[in-house]
Amino acid sequence: MESKMAYNLDVMPNYSYVFEFENEFQPNKHRQWMTENWTVAFYYVGLYMAFIFGGQYYMQKRPRFELRRTLMVWNSALAAFSIMGACRTLPEFYHVLRNHGLYHSICVPSFIEVDRVSGFWTYMFVLSKLPELGDTVFIVLRKKPLIFLHWYHHITVLLYTWYSFTEYTSSARWFVVMNYCVHSVMYSYFALVSMGKYPPRFISMIITGLQLTQMIVGCAINIWAHNYVATAPPNSCHISQINIKLSMAMYFSYFVLFAQFFYKAYLAPKTGKKAKVEPPLSEVPIAKKVEFNGFPRQRNGVVAH
């Protein structure tokens, strides 16, 4: 009750139902664990990089794995998780923006300290960045092209989110909700393709556009955070300067890489045979060839990255 009064949260988000595991979430307990163990993420990153280069070397002279059913289950599970996360964090995000404004949404970590539903799914978001490294496993074992953006994104997000949870970084409210929403669409798209359903090409263009928008908003939130920290009373905006700098560098680098990918994939003049693309960061099977007027033709396919 004291926390709620301190943050002046006179109206809490209207959840139609709160699960028992959400209600039992203890943020300080998990923050302590993360504070003591977040650097373990560097070991995971080391193993991840070793798998990438070692795995690609190992697979050079070996036939690729199909793993189509496994990939279908994997993408479907991540899609379901992201949709659930978006549904459980959006109410708090909307409530704060509507009733308490932009400053609160950026500077007050009530989404972790007060709201147990949002707090639980924020913690799940942070932890999920470790199993999401599995996206790359499919690319390596299926001998698909692995672009820099893919593994750079996975590594930096893992390290940043684990570190940020130790600080209860308040601006993470924006980052968590945006990422859940974009991943809901992205992994649903991947799940459809892995099932053999091929949406129109403009869908992948929209998803990459959403990813670009996410990076632009992320940069804007960090600029606002910097201004709030500089002008607000000391310790009233719950973001460290080092966190703002790390987040800004991360989001800006993502923007540059995603913009480069967007241009090459959708805007740059195509030389030779046209290639259809998918949004980066995961891998889906290429469509099977079908006969068209006696000639092989790729049916609304995608090229994995």
Annotated active-site residue 30? The verdict is no
Q: Does residue 145 contact residue 52 with C-beta atoms inside 8 Å?
A: no
Buried b (16+ CB within 10 A) or exposed e, 235-270: eebbbeeebbebbbebbeebbebbeebbeebeeeee
Q: Which of 95, 104, 150, 153 is catalytic?
A: 153
Give phi and psi for 25, each to the nearest 5.
Answer: -65, 130
CA distances from 58 to 52, 55, 111, 142, 204 (A): 10, 5, 45, 12, 31
What residue segments make up the domains of the chain, in order of their start?
A: 37-55+62-298
Q: What residue has token string 């459980």?
A: 88
3-state SS assignment for residue 48: helix
pLDDT tens-place string over residues 178-218: 999 999 999 999 999 999 998 898 999 999 999 999 999 99
- Position 132 scores a pLDDT of 97
In this predicted structure, which of 10-14, 166-170, 236-240, 250-254 has the lowest mean pLDDT? 10-14
pLDDT at 297 over 70: no
Tokens of 81: 């998780």
pLDDT tens-place string over residues 241-257: 999 999 999 999 999 99
DSSP 222-268: HHHHHHHHHHSPTT-S---HHHHHHHHHHHHHHHHHHHHHHIIIIIS
Q: How far is CA 84 from the centre of its chain?
A: 14
- Position 3 scores a pLDDT of 38
Q: How confident is the model at residue 5 (pLDDT cuts 50, 70, 90)?
A: very low
